[in-house]
Structure 1
Amino acid sequence: MASPPLPALLDDAQGIALQVISLAGELWSGDVREVSVPGSNGRFGVMARHAPLLGTLREGMVSVFPLKAEPPLHVYVTGGYVEVQPGRVIVMADLALRSDDIDQARARVAQEAARSPMAQAFTDEDYVRLHAELMHQRALQLRGLPWK
């Protein structure tokens, strides 16, 4: 039996539902061909029929390839979790910004501040403590907001 031509295979490609959420709420959802995430042990891609998993995310870009012929979407995340279930992926980020929304000038200033001698003086324990306090304060801000 002959294999179907490649265009026929692409037409039958299955998608997977993706939801990208952060502490501020849902950032994007829809059907995708593939999503590539910055896992704590390295970047990995998820497509239809991927094995279920729960993993941690490191800082980096999540690349979203919609099922329809739309341009890819890139979302910057500061860390978080990814859950993969049959037919569904949820990216749960501490903070997430669409690449279209990132102000290049502000990003450069933040990058320079992070490289300053004062920022380099922080220990891992200082970073964890400050990050936990930041997340706590952000949660207190969001507590009064209505959820969807």
Structure 2
Amino acid sequence: MSIMQVEVVSSEQNIYSGEASFVVVPTVSGEIGIYPRHEPIMSLVRPGALRLTVPGEAEEVLVAVSGGVLEVQPTKITVLADVAVRSEEMDQARAEEAKKAAEANLSQAKDKQSLEKAHAALAAAIAQLKTLDYLRSQKNK
């Protein structure tokens, strides 16, 4: 089985560092599925669920990403995420509350800095909600 090295980092911490045999990344062009020896590419990441198939693991590793940059090399994938959260650390009620708060902040933003902060918070909440929806859909299969 072919594998590749995967690094998922946010501005706050290293979220995942290890091997994977398949990775799905939400990009601005749509979801990209990546196997080892993939053609080199760079892309912007959009909010959503990043999915990793790890050799020897029955369950996918899921990470909510709110945006960032993806770099693919034949044996290594790097995702520099604006905000990234592993699925085990997510909570539906907290994510919905964060989305409501971000939407309220967005409507009340009076300057560019507060507008950018509100957009970033909204993207992070949406990424978590999308990841939680994906998890629910997989459990209902």
CA distance in 2, matches of 1:53, 1:128: 33
1:119 pairs, out of 81, 106, 131, with: 106
CA distance in 2, matches of 1:40, 1:127: 23
Map 1:1-148; keep pairs closer than 5 Å: 13-116=1-104, 119-120=106-107, 126=112, 130-131=116-117
CA distance in 1, matches of 2:83, 2:62: 14
Q: Which has the higher helix share?
A: 2
Q: Let me know the Cα RMSD of the aligned residues.
A: 2.4
TM superposition score normalised by structure 1: 0.70
User: What CA deviation, in whole Å up to 9, does each residue of 1:16-74 have, x standing for no partner?
Assistant: 11111110121111111111011011111111111001111011110111022331011
% same residue: 31
For structure 2, the 5+ residue unaligned runs are 121-141
For structure 1, the 5+ residue unaligned runs are 1-12, 135-148
Q: Comparing both chains, which one has the higher relative contact order based on Cα–Cα distances under 8 Å and sequence gaps of 6 or more?
A: 2
TM superposition score normalised by structure 2: 0.73
User: What CA deviation, in whole Å up to 9, does each residue of 1:71-107 have, x standing for no partner?
Assistant: 1011001100011012000111011000110122211
Partner amino acid for 1:130? E
CA distance in 2, matches of 1:127, 1:64: 34
CA distance in 2, matches of 1:47, 1:105: 34
Query: What is the total number of aligned residue pairs between the two structures?
Result: 118
